[in-house]
Amino acid sequence: MSVSRAVAQTLLQEKAVFLRPQEPFTWTSGIKSPVYCDNRLLISAVPARERIIAAFTEAIRPLDVDVIAGTATAGIPWAAWIAQELKLPLVYVRSSSKDHGRKNAVEGAIVPGQKAVLIEDLISTGKSSIAAGEKLREAGIIVPVIMSIFTYDFPQARAIFGQAGFEAASLSTFEVLAQVAFEEKLLDATSLSQVLAWRESVRFP
């Protein structure tokens, strides 16, 4: 089984993804979504957590990176576990810079010119991920890739990452998860078509 399918199964088994095609969720952005992803639930599920960490470390190990960076707050625990597994330094990126002291946007010891993988739990519109990546760049850090557990993989988000000059990679994607949900009879054929069409149609400011 591929890593993407295995991670999708884990998300469904741990109910970190909620499927509600007939009664869509409303995101903070106002987007109406038949799916809601809450990967924070995974930090409490030890076997699932270990599978996710193993998938991340397998993907990152071949890369030539000096440090693991996590986004505040959801990316921090994953980045910490990954950094421990890979024996690499850890930093994290604040959602907003401190307004006192050194006014850091990036916490931890960094050296300009270092390469860092930035860890997110979820990529939706991609805007917060890119903002965090920009803060690392401003600190002189090279960001070869921004990685997440799961991505909705919106076409518009892919374009935004490209325009910002960042590569994005995720352990699993919306399309794979929807297919696994269909195979496990969590979605019927009509609902599968609906959620895939929704993903392609989403536009955000």
CATH of the domain at 133: 3.40.50.2020
Give the pLDDT confidence of 75-91 residue by residue, as tens digits: 999 999 999 999 999 99
Q: Is the pLDDT of residue 113 over 50?
A: yes
CA–CA dist 152, 174 (Å, integer): 5
Give the pLDDT confidence of 35-79 residue by residue, as tens digits: 999 999 999 999 999 999 999 999 999 999 999 999 999 999 999
If residue 146 lies in a helix (H) or strand (E), which one and from where to where?
strand 142-151
Q: Which of 175, 170, 172, 173 is nearest to 196 (CA)?
A: 175
CA atoms lying within 13 Å on the CB side of residue 127: 5
Specify the pLDDT at position 97. Answer: 59
**If you count them, how many residues does the chain have?**
205
* 102 pLDDT tier (thresholds 50, 70, 90): low
- Give me the number of domains the chain comprises: 1
Average pLDDT, the chain: 94
Proportion of the chain above pLDDT 70, given as a percent: 96
**pTM (predicted TM-score):** 0.94
CA–CA dist 112, 123 (Å, integer): 26
Specify the pLDDT at position 100. Answer: 47
Give the pLDDT confidence of 141-185 residue by residue, as tens digits: 999 999 999 999 999 999 999 999 999 999 999 999 999 999 999
Q: Which domain holds residue 48?
A: 3-201
